[in-house]
Amino acid sequence: MIIKIIAIVLALAILLMAFIAVYNKKLVVAIVAAGVVSLFASVLYLLLSAPDVAMTEAAIGSGLSTIIFFYVLNKIRKNRKDHA
């Protein structure tokens, strides 16, 4: 019973963070929200007894993708400063 409640809360948190990621004007907030979506999804996969999928989602979805997004955002900002 408690697992179902936690899964429902996580699903609602995923929907809220996805909404924030899509509709927020600040790119940093959107990137962090997308990373949180992946992190919560990995916890949800773990609750659903899929530890291999949870580890992959945590490593690739939450970790690597967020780092790549911040790297690209930093490159874009540096490129704009160089051309301005």
Long-range contacts of 6-13 (CB under 8 A, 24+ apart): 6/47, 7/44, 7/47, 7/48, 10/40, 10/43, 10/44, 10/47, 11/44, 13/40
pLDDT in tens, 46-80: 999 999 999 999 999 889 999 999 999 999 999 88
Q: How many domains does the chain have?
A: 1
Confidence of residue 84 (pLDDT cuts 50, 70, 90): low
Q: What is the mean pLDDT of residues 26-44?
A: 95
User: pTM for the full model?
Assistant: 0.87
* Domain range enclosing 43: 2-83
pLDDT in tens, 6-27: 999 999 999 999 999 999 999 9
Q: Are 53 and 44 in contact (CB under 8 A)?
A: no
Q: Mean pLDDT in the chain?
A: 93
Cα–Cα distance for residue pair 76/9, rounded to 1 Å:
36
